[in-house]
A and B are shown apart, each in its own frame.
Chain A
Amino acid sequence: MAWLHTWFGLVLGYVLIVVFFFGSLSVFDREIDRWALPETRFAPQPMPSFDRMLSPIFKQMKPEPAELEAARARVGGSLPAELAVMNWAVYTTHRDPVLAMYAEFAVPNNPNDPDDHVHGHVTIDPRNGRLLGDDQLKVGSEFFYPMHISLHVTWKDLGYWIVGLAALAMLAALVSGLVIHRRIFREFFTLRPRKHVQRSTLDLHNLTGVVALPFHFFFALTGLTIFAGIYLPVSETMLKPQAQAAAVHEAKAKGLPFKPAGVAAPLASVDAMVLEAKRRWAARGMAGEVGYLYVNHVGDRNSYVSLYRAGSDRVTLVGQPIHFEGTTGRVLYEEPPSSAVASVNDFLTGLHLQHFEHWLLRWFYVFGGLTGCVCIATGFIFFVEKRKRQHAQAGVSGARWVDAFAVTSVTGMLIATLAMLIANRVLPIELAQRGDWQKASFWGVWLLTFAHAAARGAMPRMTRLSPAWREQCLAVAALAPAAVILNWVTTGDHLLKTLAEGYWPVAGLDLALLAVGSIAAGAAVRLRRGERAVAAPAASLDEAAAAGAGTADREAARA
């Protein structure tokens, strides 16, 4: 169990800390978008009129150029000038000032995949229908959030697999950690910060692991369940006939046409459908707004419109769908309450995805995620400090590289994130591909922090920690307030103003940045003091470790 905990924890820990950190940021992804896109800093809006505002915009939408190119390659050459649109979708939550609109276009003539399609999307200001420019990178929801779920490695879903493996390793590390520390209750109350590094680090590692144990376990498990269709794709392979039969049967039972008729027909008033849906939800005692609007078989006689209620007041994401016949607007099917299995699943996954409106709980999520990061980071530090001396004496560089990667994935990742926010403020507005430049700043700076960590850890020192830790903490202490100042200088929305107005998306991030900077500054000061205090060689450290460790920890120390 100790071997499992140490090696799965170490190898996948680097991935896991990235997933936990960007997961924590993703709780407030849309608020980070507001900070990054100042022209969207207005209050969240309800979904606007489909007939008057959304329909004309949908009719103008075109597929993404990059996807069109890829599709051309897939079908071996020529595509018609105008691809037929298959479906339209609109999605909004209680936190969105701007509205996201999506379309799917059919790609004909693909011998391998008759359902081949490409996507298009735009973002609009729902108050006036103005399109947001193309190159407006939503730093929170389009960069930090995908980083959390797939590390931006999209080739063949490889990123999802890596994150999934890390989640599985997390579960294994939690179980094995429990087995190692059977007397778990005392871990809640054990923190000896004044002991030397190995002891206090291990204490903090155990404490953060145990205090948020249900949280860590739950999020890793639901993360896997949410993407179970990727990890165990039974419906697309071995059980495809059963899945298809069920889909057709379900569509028939609901009265929803599975395929288009091939006959053109206009769409009736969707606004009237929205009114009817709201009336029905209110009649069921759950009055609400439309969270998700879906038009299938656009422009066809078989078209239908599905309206889902936004779940801001409950854990489940969206629900209570009502389906309308596209050409007439009459109700085809009002879905009954979910089955027991579906309700349980929606509740569990809804807890992970947290689209509900409960700010205190969301902050708890952030602290839970950051606690997980501390657990992983202290795990790295403990691993390195325990082995540093032995490795240096044996001429093996293992601990040094583990340490360099650890610095990169803890302080380095923080520096890269801050660099991206700063680039977002500093890059000229008219710069072509501004979004790509912001991403490049993130990756480039992260690489630099690795180079720094590798270089600074090279000297075999008997001091406690690589100087890279302190130096990167200093960088964080400088960059975080710099980002706040740049926000003020480039947008005029300084903290006093946003606090007075109660505009929390920007005020919250600015305050969080200042808090991060102060913590990093404090850490740098303490590390400096620690460096100066080390006088005697580390010979006494291992004896102190053995003396301070209990039975359980001796087993961990053997790992």
Chain B
Amino acid sequence: MTTSQPTVGVVSRVAAALLGGWLFAWGFVTLGIMLLLRAGMPYSDARTLTYLLAFLVYLAGLCWSFAMRRARSAWLTLAGGGAAMTALAWWLARASL
């Protein structure tokens, strides 16, 4: 990998995996907590349960990002999906207060 084109692709792929994956995990946790709260679970249990699953979700996103043919698909699903889940969680949080 000596030319700049593949390097940009590599950086993008890694960033999609790590940053996009993190955002996806954040969305999963916040949305998960809000939905569990609505279902009647106490906050500490909801947070504990989503934390237990969060890093499996992050790992799945990370590996999946590398299985994709294009880095852009990885970005869209991970960062996009993460942002969408976070936004939904935000809205649920505001609505419940």
Residues of A with Cβ closer than 8 Å to B?
1, 3-4, 165, 168, 171-172, 175-176, 221, 224-225, 228-229, 231-232, 234-235, 238-239, 241-243, 245-246, 250, 339, 341-342, 344-345, 348
Contacts and interface: CB of A to CB of B under 8 A. Distances in A.
17 contacts: A1-B63, A1-B66, A165-B18, A168-B59, A176-B66, A221-B55, A221-B56, A224-B55, A225-B52, A225-B55, A228-B54, A232-B29, A234-B29, A234-B33, A242-B37, A242-B96, A246-B43
Interface string B40-76: 0111110111011011101100110011000000000
Contacts of B22: 231
B47 to A, nearest CB: 6
Contacts of A3: 66
Contacts of B34: 239, 242
Given A168-B58, A234-B26, A345 B93 contact: no
B16 interface: no
Nearest to B53: A225
Contact of A239 (B18, B30, B42, B55): B30
A439 B59 CA distance: 35
B89 interface: yes
B52 A348 contact: yes
Contacts of A344: 52
Nearest to A164: B55
A242 B86 CA distance: 15
A231 B59 CA distance: 14
A445 B25 CA distance: 40
Given A232-B25, A232-B26, A243-B43, A238 B58 contact: no
B93 A246 contact: no
A341 B29 CA distance: 15
Interface of B: 18, 22, 25-26, 29-30, 33-34, 37, 41-45, 47-49, 51-52, 54-56, 58-59, 62-63, 66-67, 86, 89-90, 93, 96-97
A56 B22 CA distance: 48
A81 to B, nearest CB: 39
B39 to A, nearest CB: 13
A559 B36 CA distance: 43
B32 to A, nearest CB: 10
A46 B14 CA distance: 51
Nearest to A171: B59
A235 B47 contact: yes
Contact of B44 (A175, A231, A241, A342): A342
A239 B89 CA distance: 9
Given A239-B93, A250-B44, A172 B59 contact: yes
B33 A345 contact: no
**Interface residues of B, dominant DSSP:** helix
A239 B34 CA distance: 9
Contacts of B41: 341
A342 B41 CA distance: 12
Contacts of A242: 33-34, 37, 43, 93, 96
A345 B47 CA distance: 11
Contacts of B52: 225, 341, 344-345, 348
Contacts of B55: 168, 171, 221, 224-225, 228
**Which of A168, A245, A341 gathers the greatest number of chain B CB atoms within 10 Å?**
A341
A176 to B, nearest CB: 7
A176 B55 CA distance: 16
A175 B30 contact: no
Nearest to B90: A238
B66 A246 contact: no
Contacts of A232: 25-26, 29, 51, 54
A232 B59 CA distance: 15
B50 to A, nearest CB: 9
Which 3 A-B residue pairings sit nearest by Cβ, starting from the closest? A246-B43, A228-B51, A341-B45
Nearest to A244: B43
A243 to B, nearest CB: 6
Given A238-B90, A344-B52, 16 more contacts: A1-B67, A4-B66, A168-B18, A168-B59, A229-B51, A232-B26, A234-B30, A234-B47, A238-B86, A242-B43, A246-B43, A246-B44, A339-B45, A342-B48, A345-B48, A348-B52
A224 B25 CA distance: 13
A292 to B, nearest CB: 18
Contacts of A342: 44-45, 48
B53 to A, nearest CB: 9
Contacts of A348: 52
A511 to B, nearest CB: 37
A225 B59 CA distance: 13
A171 B54 CA distance: 13
A4 B66 CA distance: 7
Contacts of B37: 242
Nearest to A229: B51
Contact of B63 (A165, A176, A229, A238): A176
A234 B93 CA distance: 12
A172 B45 contact: no
Given A221-B56, A225-B52, A238-B90, A339 B42 contact: yes
A466 B38 CA distance: 61
A86 B94 CA distance: 33
Contacts of B93: 238-239, 241-242
A410 B44 CA distance: 41
A4 B52 CA distance: 24
